[in-house]
Amino acid sequence: MMKKFLNKPEDIMDETMRGYAQTNRRKLYLPEGTHNMMRREPKKKGLVKLVVGNGGGHEPGLMGWIGYGMYDLDCLGNFFTAQAGTVFYDAIRSIDDGSPILLTISNHAGDVMNGNIAYSMCLEDDMEIRKVLFYDDIATAPKGQEEERRGGAGMLFSIKTAGALAERGGSLDEVVRVWNKARDNTRTLSIALTSWTHPATGEVMASTPDDLANIGAGVHGEAGPASMPFTSSAVMIGKMCDMLIDDMPYNPGDEIIVLINGMGATSMMEMSVVAQDVDKHVASRGIKVYDSVAGNFVTTQEMAGLSLSFLKLDDELKELWNDPCSSPAYTNR
């Protein structure tokens, strides 16, 4: 029997967003009757605003990345459902003050379709707007076909660095360039250990046998391309690190930022063990870890498992990463 702190299934996303805004009321603002989560203190007019539209059910992603140096608006759809393009357009219009806008899209079919609808409608209004696509999941398309890959939690790297440049007063072209650079330097791979339960139906989804781990599972619980016996953190994480490193050749001495993203039921104890396993393994490959981040950022309900993302650094990305930011799910200084 499913036991979750829920009321009516049809109210799940409305109540989720209201509650999240209430527990982060100093940083977030949710206009009544909308799914338009935005900054409590709007960005100064003239600076590039970053917006996103995505399905709910991955909390705190992506509304947890709204704030200084991060997103200005997240227009959420219903559970695992992209927001309608017309609704997303209305959300963007609600914050339009003539400032440049960067519309960001995680590479999933519904997000892309509706993001393109919103983008086209904004262009018809003569908004100064550009769109960018994010893709990082190496399990979903082979090397050389990166643009076919779906988006994952590594999107944090692009929003953090592009958001920092926007706060500095960077032009729309410059913010687009940095977003794309961070994306092109990001690789992500996941490992799922258990299934998850649909909060509206109670149905168990994406079952994983107790003795196996699924490599490459998607953010909606989609099965990855390979399953293998689960042994230990060091062994499993070592295999994942090698796959990430081999997808983007590194030179000895290269620096990376590591993102360990919990899928919802993975404890901080486990993620901390993983963090030291990552450091040990990449050091054996001649790679330096400049910084690490661990936590639940883009989740799949109560699924146990995690995704591992690497951002390959250069001087510009490192400097922008170090700029301050403040959002409910991630704050730097």
pLDDT tens-place string over residues 23-75: 999 999 999 999 999 999 999 999 999 999 999 999 999 999 999 999 999 99
Topology adopted by domain 13-184 = Rossmann fold (3.40.50)
Report residue 279: phi and psi, to 5°: -55, -45
Topology adopted by domain 186-313 = Hypothetical Protein Tm841; Chain: A;domain 3 (3.30.1180)
pLDDT of residue 163 exceeding 70, the answer is yes
Helix (H) or strand (E) holding 312: strand 305-312
Per-residue b/e over 194-221, b at no fewer than 16 CB within 10 Å? bbbbbbeeeeebbebeeeebbbbbbbbb
Cβ neighbours around 288 below 10 Å, total: 14
Q: Where are the domains of the chain?
A: 13-184, 186-313
Closest C-alpha among 310, 276, 84 to residue 185: 310
Model pLDDT, residue 7? 94
Rounded-to-integer distance, Cα 211 and Cα 217, Å: 16
DSSP assignment letter at 41:
S
pLDDT digits (tens, 9 = 90+) for 255-300: 999 999 999 999 999 999 999 999 999 999 999 999 999 999 999 9
CA trace torsion 159, 82, 75, 199 (10° rounding): -100
**Is the backbone peptide bond immediately before 100 cis, with ω within 30 degrees of 0?**
no
* This prediction's pTM: 0.96
Q: What does pLDDT average to over the chain? A: 96
Residue 302 and residue 195 in contact, taking contact as beta carbons nearer than 8 Å:
no
Model pLDDT, residue 1? 63
